[in-house]
Amino acid sequence: MKKDIYHPPGGILIWVIIFVEIITFSMGILAYSYMRSKNVELFNSSQMTLEKGLATINTIVLLTGGFLMAMGIQDLKKGLNKQSARWILGAILTGILFLIIKGSEYGIKLEHGHDLRENLFFTYYWLLTAFHFIHVFVAVVILTALYFSVKKGKYTSENYFDVETGGAFWHMCDLIWLMLFPVLYLLH
């Protein structure tokens, strides 16, 4: 493949979106890190209430979704639509599983009264993870539309640009989570 600056995999528009999204989330995470450095005790004690195990499982779920989507695109490039659709369906299911696990984590937080207004830590926690949650939801919708199109044979080994673009959006959700997960859950 020719390495053209104007034609990255998935198209230039999705790459501009990926950059903007990653920079935006980075600013939020850095603001969190800065505020934490001013309130270490509050942030550490609040962080202790988070479900690290659930978040680790969710990270593995998202990474698995990224793997399944990458495999789906590989099969589509070879014209194997049926197999490709199967991989994409797997990626959709991991997305749904991520949303269910995250939803249950939110339920636990609310049950214990850890809402957006409890303290500064939880304000950041809710804003950062909820924006990411919305991105995963949108990605699941995009992948579902692509799944039916791939299954119907709308995309072929010669025409898979849209699937690559949708896949790039899906991987972007992975990347954002890979930035959020260590800072919110692991680093202390």
Partner 1 sequence: MTNEKKKNTITWIALVLLTILSWKFSESLSGKMGLMVVILASITKFFGVSLQFLELKKAHSFWKFGLLGFLVIFYFLVFLFFS
- State which residue, 9 or 79, has the beta carbon closest to partner 1: 9
Q: Binding of partner 1 at residue 70 (CB under 8 A)?
A: yes
Helix, strand and coil percent figures for the chain, each rounded to 5: 80, 0, 20
Q: Binding of partner 1 at residue 19 (CB under 8 A)?
A: yes
Which one of 11, 15, 86, 131 is in contact with partner 1 (CB under 8 A)?
A: 15
Amino acid letter at 20?
V
Q: Binding of partner 1 at residue 69 (CB under 8 A)?
A: yes
- Asked if 39 contacts 120 with a C-beta cutoff of 8 angstroms, the reply is yes
- C-beta of 43: minimal distance to partner 1 in Å? 10
CA distances from 74 to 40, 77, 164 (A): 46, 5, 10
- Asked if 72 contacts 166 with a C-beta cutoff of 8 angstroms, the reply is no
Q: For residues 120-144, b (16+ Cβ closer than 10 Å) or e, as one string?
A: ebbebbbebbeebbebbbebbebbb
Q: Binding of partner 1 at residue 63 (CB under 8 A)?
A: yes
Q: Binding of partner 1 at residue 181 (CB under 8 A)?
A: yes
| Near partner 1 in 43-62, by CB under 8 A | 52-53, 56, 59-60
Q: Binding of partner 1 at residue 26 (CB under 8 A)?
A: yes
DSSP calls for 86-124: HHHHHHHHHHHHHHHHHHHHHHHHHHTT--TTS-HHHHH
Which one of 33, 156, 157, 159 is in contact with partner 1 (CB under 8 A)?
A: 33
Where along the sequence are the contacts to partner 1 (CB under 8 A)? 1, 3-5, 8-10, 15, 18-19, 22-23, 26, 29-30, 33-34, 36-37, 52-53, 56, 59-60, 63-64, 66-67, 69-71, 74, 78, 167-168, 171-172, 174-175, 178-179, 181-183, 185-188
